[in-house]
């Protein structure tokens, strides 16, 4: 073998039986091969396990999929390049022309766009209600054959809590699949309910560090099996190095989520008592309209605290600019605290009535609570609220 050949066919290092790495290796390879053509064809027929092309499956991403499915209490999972990638590919794979989707005004803006605009172009119809309108949900499901009920809990950004038991019961009674964006609640919550499809943005709590993007679709084996081929064809899969980083982040997931939730509760209580704050949206507060429902459904109330600053959008902008330990940027769930002022929360696709129903006011500000010292955060929020009144 010439040297120019040897660099493309290096010696193989295989671990002896009983010897394994404690950290999942990064299989940074697009292609895998078998010993012979017969073995390859046997795999392609589905008669033997293995890996062939990373757009379809990769050992590193597969390890992450199994871990996420176990955390959510389901059988299987597909990981994707982003949270919106998980939502869009799942919606495309699960619907066809003539189907009907029920969605809600209290939904992540890109999800509303995907359902109403993108799926609408392909002949998928939709109805949009408020997540609080259980009578409307029952009426729509009773009168309109529905393929999917797509919702969030808690909702983005004002943390409304969906009645998951009621929604799943109504959907099952009328033959619809439930599709829950569970990003705010995290991978460890809501698994006790008969949700058919969970989606997550792994960019948030799973990674935790804010340095990698990813998404996940988690469901029963039969649903994931029906999706996997189409996901491979659509091509929005997760890179193995990104999967490695997310799996590494998951090692501290519970520690981070619990610590950030404790701080979020303290922040919500402080804001609720401050005269510059009109209203605080946080399920952990007894004043939250669905507090008792959240207590029944959730182990933790989450790390997002949303407030309405007195004085409208101008005061909210002054508040956001005055914060020292909160970065003005998108996303949530990372170790840094983040703030999204009302000027960054667009709802141009909603009517005035729908926008009012969503709960987002002129002074609404969303906070994502990080891992900074809680006293520093409380002091920062206090001084920023004082400056908001200038």
pLDDT in tens, 27-68: 999 999 999 999 999 999 999 999 999 999 999 999 999 999
pLDDT of residue 4: 92
pLDDT of residue 344: 83
Better-scored residue on pLDDT, 355 or 165: 165
CA distances (Å), origin 125, targets 4, 96, 193: 58, 10, 27
Joined together, the tokens standing for residue 260 give 């950030």
The mean per-residue pLDDT over the stretch 373-380 comes to 98
pLDDT of residue 364: 95
pLDDT tens digit sequence for 290-349: 999 999 999 999 999 999 999 999 999 999 999 999 999 999 999 999 999 988 886 777
pLDDT of residue 390: 67
CA 302 to chain centroid, in Å, comes to 13
Q: Are 138 and 162 in contact (CB under 8 A)?
A: no
Question: What distance in Å separates the CA atoms of residue 230 and residue 18, rounded to the nearest whole number?
Answer: 37
pLDDT tens digit sequence for 333-347: 999 999 999 888 867
Question: What distance in Å separates the CA atoms of residue 85 and residue 95, rounded to the nearest whole number?
Answer: 16
DSSP for residue 10? P
pLDDT tens digit sequence for 169-203: 999 999 999 999 999 999 999 999 999 999 999 99
Taking the CA atoms of the chain, what radius of gyration do you get in angstroms?
A: 23
Please check the confidence at residue 352 and state whether its pLDDT lies above 90: no
- The full set of domains in the chain, from first to last, is 37-250 (3.40.640.10), 253-388 (3.90.1150.10)
Q: Across the strands, what pairs with 198?
A: 180, 218
Residue 371: CA count within 13 A, CB half-sphere: 15
Please check the confidence at residue 72 and state whether its pLDDT lies above 90: yes
Give rounded-to-5 percent helix, strand, coil for the chain. Answer: 40, 15, 45
Where helices occur in the chain by DSSP H, the ranges are 3-6, 37-44, 59-72, 83-94, 109-113, 119-121, 134-143, 164-173, 221-234, 240-250, 253-272, 291-297, 312-322, 352-358, 374-388
CA 42 to chain centroid, in Å, comes to 37
CA 360 to chain centroid, in Å, comes to 20
Joined together, the tokens standing for residue 331 give 């996303």
pLDDT of residue 351: 76
Joined together, the tokens standing for residue 35 give 């010993």
pLDDT of residue 353: 81
pTM here?
0.95
pLDDT of residue 3: 92
CA distances (Å), origin 241, targets 58, 211, 247, 288: 11, 12, 10, 41
Q: Are 84 and 270 in contact (CB under 8 A)?
A: no
pLDDT of residue 191: 98
The mean per-residue pLDDT over the stretch 162-175 comes to 98
Question: What distance in Å separates the CA atoms of residue 207 and residue 334, rounded to the nearest whole number?
Answer: 8
Looking at every residue in the chain, the average pLDDT score rounds to 96
Q: Are 288 and 171 in contact (CB under 8 A)?
A: no
Q: How far separated are the first and last CA of the chain, in Å rounded?
A: 77
Query: What b/e sequence results for 38-63 when a residue is b if at least 16 CB atoms lie within 10 Å of its CB, and e otherwise?
Result: eebeebeeeeeeebeebeebbbbbbb
Three-point CA angle 205, 207, 212, nearest 5° = 130
Q: Name which of 310, 349, 359 is nearest 161 in CA terms.
A: 359
Q: Are 171 and 153 in contact (CB under 8 A)?
A: no
DSSP for residue 117? I
Exposed/middle/buried for 328, CB within 10 Å: 0-12, 13-18, 19+? middle
Please check the confidence at residue 14 and state whether its pLDDT lies above 70: yes
Beta-carbon contacts of 145 under 8 Å, excluding residues fewer than 6 positions away, are: 100, 174, 175
pLDDT tens digit sequence for 112-152: 999 999 999 999 999 999 999 999 999 999 999 999 999 99
Sort strands 125-129 and 76-80 into parallel, antiparallel or unpaired.
unpaired
Stated as kind and residue range, the H or E segment containing 102 is strand 100-104
Percent of all residues in the chain with a pLDDT value above 90, rounded to a whole number: 93
Question: What distance in Å separates the CA atoms of residue 350 and residue 100, rounded to the nearest whole number?
Answer: 19
């Amino acid at each position: 073998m010439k040297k120019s050949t040897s660099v493309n066919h290096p010696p193989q290092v295989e671990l002896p039986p009983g010897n394994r790495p404690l950290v999942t290796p990064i299989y940074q390879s697009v292609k895998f091969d078998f010993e012979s053509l017969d073995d390859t064809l046997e795999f392609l027929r589905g008669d033997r396990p293995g890996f062939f092309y990373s757009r379809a499956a990769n050992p590193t991403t597969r390890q992450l999929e199994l871990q996420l499915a176990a955390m959510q209490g389901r059988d299987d999972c597909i990981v994707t390049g982003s949270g919106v990638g998980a939502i869009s590919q799942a919606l495309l794979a699960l619907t066809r022309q003539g189907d009907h989707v029920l969605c809600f005004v209290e939904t992540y803006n890109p999800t509303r766009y995907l359902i109403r605009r993108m799926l609408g172009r392909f002949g998928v119809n939709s109805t949009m209600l408020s997540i609080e309108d259980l009578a409307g949900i029952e009426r729509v499901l009773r009168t309109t054959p529905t393929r999917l009920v797509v919702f969030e809990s808690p909702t983005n950004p004002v943390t409304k809590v969906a009645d998951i038991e009621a929604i799943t019961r109504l959907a099952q009674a009328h033959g619809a699949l439930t599709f829950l964006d569970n990003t705010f609640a995290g991978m460890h919550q809501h698994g006790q309910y008969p949700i058919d499809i969970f989606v997550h943005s792994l960019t948030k709590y799973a990674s935790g560090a804010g340095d990698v993007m990813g998404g996940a679709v988690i469901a029963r084996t039969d649903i994931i099996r029906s999706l996997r081929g189409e996901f491979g064809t659509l091509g929005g899969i997760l890179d193995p190095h990104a999967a490695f980083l997310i799996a590494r982040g998951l090692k501290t997931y519970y520690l981070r989520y619990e610590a950030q939730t404790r701080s979020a509760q303290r922040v919500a209580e402080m804001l609720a008592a401050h005269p510059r704050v009109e209203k605080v949206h946080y399920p952990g507060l007894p004043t939250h309209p669905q507090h008792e429902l959240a207590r029944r459904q959730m182990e933790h109330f989450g790390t997002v605290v949303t407030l309405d600053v007195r004085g409208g959008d101008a005061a909210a902008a002054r508040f956001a600019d005055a914060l020292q330990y909160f970065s003005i940027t998108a996303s949530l769930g990372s170790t840094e605290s983040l703030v999204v002022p009302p000027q960054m929360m667009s709802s141009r696709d909603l009517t005035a009535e729908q926008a009012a129903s969503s709960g987002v006011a002129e002074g609404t500000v969303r906070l994502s609570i990080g891992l900074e010292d809680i006293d520093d955060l409380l002091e920062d929020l206090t001084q920023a609220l004082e400056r908001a009144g200038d």
